[in-house]
Amino acid sequence: MASQEDVFKKLVAHCKEYGFVFPSSEIYDGLGAVYDYGQMGVELKNNIKKYWYDSMTLLHENIVGIDAAIFMHPTTWKASGHVDAFNDPLIDNKDSKKRYRADVLIEEQIAKYEEKIEKECNKAAKKFGDSFDKAMFFETNSRVKEYVTKKENLHTRFAKALNDNDLAELKQIIIDEEIVCPISGTKNWTDVRQFNLMFSTEMGASADGAMKVYLRPETAQGIFVNYLNVQKTGRMKIPFGIAQIGKAFRNEIVARQFVFRMREFEQMEMQFFVKPGTELEWFDKWKQTRLKWHKALGLGDHKYRFHDHDKLAHYANAATDIEFEMPFGFKEVEGIHSRTDFDLSQHSKYSGKKIEYFDPEINQSYTPYVIETSIGVDRMFLSVMAAAYNEEQLENGETRVVLNLPPALAPIKACIMPLVKKDGLPEKAKEIINDLKFDFRCQYDEKDSIGKRYRRQDAIGTPFCITVDHDTLNDNCVTIRHRDTMLQERVSIANLANIINQKVSMKDLFKNQLI
């Protein structure tokens, strides 16, 4: 069986081969952690965005959208805390000259202990079979006990160093744990320094008049600074939400794992404004609502888990991540945060404007509290692709590579294929496309054998292949082949739109969230 690392490599190669994702400016050897979405990728990405945006704004009457600019007044980022505190602790290896995030090096060390514990457990489970008692094993096996203690001590020490913002202690942990640079293999480390993740540029032509502006590191602030505009012009009553999709930029130190950690990426964020004191109730509601959104896609309920934060940002009073099982382990795809009134209060303080809500029910004004749901489009894209990518062994001994994408997200919904390139079959196939194309993104393919054409469509996740043969000209029926089951059936051309629509419409995905 292929290792998870191999599966991931294959997935990355597949994304490139079939036009989903290309390295940015590849003819110049690419640009670190920046990617372009190709002809298939952009369709899948747009479908993900539509699924998110419509779920927010159609299913919730009290959520509206905006599209704020990427550039914002620089004071925004002072008020939000990003100028002073949006930092990662970095460390360089003096021999390889490679730069790492100190916290990531330590997290990887913790993961190594976890792997060792799991390995011991698997070995023992195999040895003892049905009589294996995991709890007892943890209590009695000296090696496992040692790893658990080491892991727990390291975790405690690490959490304290982060909380205290103690950079010297982070370095000391790296030294004490004998963590080496994966490139040079040495422990020749610099001190740990803080590194601000925001990109900046200058706005304005003249040198003395130019203003330093930032590329936004999150879309959320565009919502906060527009809270009053939307609340007043939309006559919004609390509780209400503002949703937005847009690009964000972070100068990530450790940028790897493909589109998982990029320097230019896209976020789908929603800020939900609530009455103070009700925020934890709303936090729980949004946790469940967002999990349902994920699960409705049918990628496998067991692939999700919550990771509640034990270390909270100073402005948050609850926070959790929705993690998805990627080929490289469970990883954060979405963050849900109870941000209190921090952001609105800060903007009020820095702008000198009153940012409040007059609540007619209690005849009082207050600064609303905020629940934020924030998901990365690119991470969502990666989780969908990772879950969909399958190498299937067929009965005839062949392997087929298929993307079992949720049909509503698939880039192409149907491919129409004339059995042969003559006898009026291409014309008939085009007639069918000309009818379907207003509702569904279709492809036409007349090259190679039908089998090869099926494989090409499987590889991009097309739910339906429709073959036009000689009988079609007489009976107005075609053969429709279903991607996942490979079953074929003869159906009337008049029924095609209905059959496709039933499977690819987002309606069921929306309804599944409401169950």
Helix 507-514 and helix 279-295, axial crossing angle in degrees, nearest 10: 140
Closest contact distance (angstroms) between CB of 250 and ligand GAP is: 5
Q: Give the residue with the Cβ less far from ligand GAP, 189 or 272.
A: 272
| Interface with ligand GAP, residue 218, by CB under 6 A | yes
Total of chain residues touching ligand GAP, rule CB under 6 A: 19
* Phi, psi angle pair for 467, to nearest 5°: -105, 130
Look at residues 471, 407, 476 and name the one whose alpha carbon lies nearest to residue 435. Answer: 476
Closest contact distance (angstroms) between CB of 236 and ligand GAP is: 20
Q: Give the residue with the Cβ less far from ligand GAP, 375 or 408.
A: 375
Contact region for ligand GAP (CB under 6 A) — 102-110, 265-273, 303-311, 500-508? Answer: 265-273
Q: Give the residue with the Cβ less far from ligand GAP, 154 or 297.
A: 297
Closest contact distance (angstroms) between CB of 294 and ligand GAP is: 12
Using CB positions, name the residue nearest to ligand GAP.
376
Q: Give the residue with the Cβ less far from ligand GAP, 297 or 480.
A: 297
Contact set for ligand GAP, span 23-82 (CB under 6 A)? none
Contact region for ligand GAP (CB under 6 A) — 81-89, 116-124, 223-231, 330-338? Answer: 330-338
- Residue 496's CB is within 10 A of a number of other CB atoms, namely 21
- Residue 487's CB is within 10 A of a number of other CB atoms, namely 9
Closest contact distance (angstroms) between CB of 515 and ligand GAP is: 25
| Interface with ligand GAP, residue 327, by CB under 6 A | no
In the list 8, 189, 227, 265, the residue contacting ligand GAP (rule: CB under 6 A) is: 265
Helix 41-59 and helix 507-514, axial crossing angle in degrees, nearest 10: 50
SS3 444: strand
Q: For residues 359 and 129, give the distance between their C-alpha atoms in angstroms, rounded to a whole number.
A: 63
Pairing of strands 399-403, 414-418: unpaired
In the list 103, 334, 445, 469, the residue contacting ligand GAP (rule: CB under 6 A) is: 334
Burial class (CB in 10 A: 0-12, 13-18, 19+), 281: exposed
DSSP code string of 199-238: -EEEESSSTTT-EEEEB-S-SHHHHHTTHHHHHHHTT--S
Strand positions, DSSP E, 14-77: 21-23, 35-37, 63-65
| x/- letters, 375..404, toward ligand GAP (CB under 6 A) | xx-xx-------------------------
Closest contact distance (angstroms) between CB of 15 and ligand GAP is: 15
| Interface with ligand GAP, residue 101, by CB under 6 A | no
In the list 15, 170, 262, 504, the residue contacting ligand GAP (rule: CB under 6 A) is: 262
| Interface with ligand GAP, residue 325, by CB under 6 A | no
Look at residues 260, 320, 364, 266 and name the one whose alpha carbon lies nearest to residue 11. Answer: 260
- Residue 49's CB is within 10 A of a number of other CB atoms, namely 16
Q: Which residues contact 44 (CB under 8 A, 6 or more apart)?
A: 20, 381, 384, 385, 405, 409, 410, 411
| Interface with ligand GAP, residue 335, by CB under 6 A | yes
Residues within the interface to ligand GAP (CB under 6 A): 218, 220, 250, 252, 261-262, 265, 267, 269, 332-335, 372, 374-376, 378-379
